[in-house]
Amino acid sequence: MLIHISRESGIPLFGNIAFGIIDRGTNLLQVRATSVCNINCTFCSVDGGMFSQQHKVFYEVDCDYLLEEVGKVVALKGNDVEINIDSVGEPFCYPQLEKLVEGLREIQCVKKISIQTNGTIWKDINVDVVNLSFHAIDPILARKLANSPCMDIDKVKDFGERYKKKGIIVRLCPVWIPGVNDTEIPKIIQYAKEKDYFLGIQKYEVYAYSRKHEKIKAQSWYQFYSQIKKWEKEFGLSLQVTAKDLGIHKASRVEEVFKKGERVKLEVRLKGWFKDQMIAVGRGRTVTVKDCTKNEGDLINVKILETKNNIYLAK
Ligand code: SF4
């Protein structure tokens, strides 16, 4: 089920992890236009894609509405804002992506636009940085990890090349899954070195609702960085990327409107991202309500459980 969120819907764009705008108190704003994904990675930390066991509801935000709301937030942030178009899905599944990027370019103080992608859907968009998921060079393993016939690693390589030729920074972002793609990571590092791509190797994480590889445990950060340092020596490259390297710094943040532990009255408006949740609205924010059996339009009294970064959870 795809839910369209427009200004007329009256659904605020702050408060939810699956759509809208996320402000973590820096000059980088995450903009989430869609939660749809066209593939089904076997290790997906958000259980995305059509094979998802947890998510039967997907969201898509109207482009004009999103641009208006981003414009308001950018005005609070200073003059060097980066917009990162990311998603709990695949941003290139958003039908209005070209329009979104062109609109973001028009916003004063937006200095950089970056995007996350699995590289399986080609669209020519005017961004500054492409962060390309790239978990295996081996075509069979790449397709197996994507769990989708949409994954053709040669096409993903071509995707990266086309953006690089436009002068856009391309960063290959493999998730290193111990015991699964260990031998692929050095090949990816070598490939990035030869092709002059940036690299952002990511640690495999296991969350309550993520898709998991059976019997594979996440490494400790110590184990992860020990191996990263070995690869740095082997390839003569720096593989550790800090927020400072990426030009990210603290900046004023959008005000949080609820306090943890507070009891509030809200109106139920939408189905939640997880099956047992509903999304309620109050004080210009959405609040995800756990274990909610109420219907759209009902008023509820709930206790706020989480407020971090203006992402609200209540019960
Ligand atoms: S592309 Fe991203 S959101 Fe989609 S299934 Fe893979 S990891 Fe999950």
Domain residue extents for the chain: 2-235, 263-314
Of 207, 268, 288, the C-alpha closest to 45 is 207
pLDDT of 137: 97
Q: Is 90 in the pocket of ligand 1 (CB under 6 A)?
A: yes
pLDDT of 251: 94
Atom of ligand 1 lying closest to residue 38 CA: 4
Q: Which two tokens stand for residue 272?
A: 């939640």
Segments of the chain scoring below 70 in pLDDT: none
SS3 track for the chain: CEEEECHHHCCCCCCCCCCEEEECCECEEEEECECCCCCCCCCCCCCCCCCCCCCCCEEEECHHHHHHHHHHHHHHHCCCEEEEECCCCCHHHCCCHHHHHHHHHCCCCEEEEEEEECCCCCCCCCCCEEEEECCCCCHHHHHHHHCCCCCCHHHHHHHHHHHHHCCCEEEEECEECCCCCCCHHHHHHHHHHHHCCEECCEECCCCCCCCCCCCCCCCCHHHHHHHHHHHHHHHCCCCCCCCCCCCCCECCCCCCCCCCCCEEEEEEEEECCCCCCEEEEECCEEEEECCCCCCCCCEEEEEEEECHHHCCEEC
Q: What is the CA(282)–ligand 1 centre distance, in A?
A: 31
pLDDT of 117: 98
Provide the residue count of the chain.
315
In contact, 189 and 199? CB cutoff 8 Å: yes
Pocket test for ligand 1, best of 17, 46, 47 (most atoms within 8 A of CB): 46
pLDDT of 78: 86
Q: What is the pLDDT of residues 27-74, one digit of tens each?
A: 999 999 999 999 999 999 999 998 998 898 999 999 999 999 999 999
* Dihedral sign for Cα atoms in the order 132, 188, 169, 198: positive
pLDDT of 110: 96
Q: Whose CA is nearest to atom 2 of ligand 1?
A: 89
Q: Whose CA is nearest to atom 3 of ligand 1?
A: 89
Backbone angles phi, psi at 141, to 5 degrees: -65, -40
- Residue 86 half-sphere exposure toward CB, CA atoms < 13 A: 17
First to last CA, the chain: 24
Q: Which two tokens stand for residue 21?
A: 């705008």
Pocket test for ligand 1, best of 30, 42, 47, 90 (most atoms within 8 A of CB): 90
Return the CATH superfamily for domain 2-235: Aldolase class I (3.20.20.70)
How many CB atoms are located within 10 Å of the residue 240 CB? 12
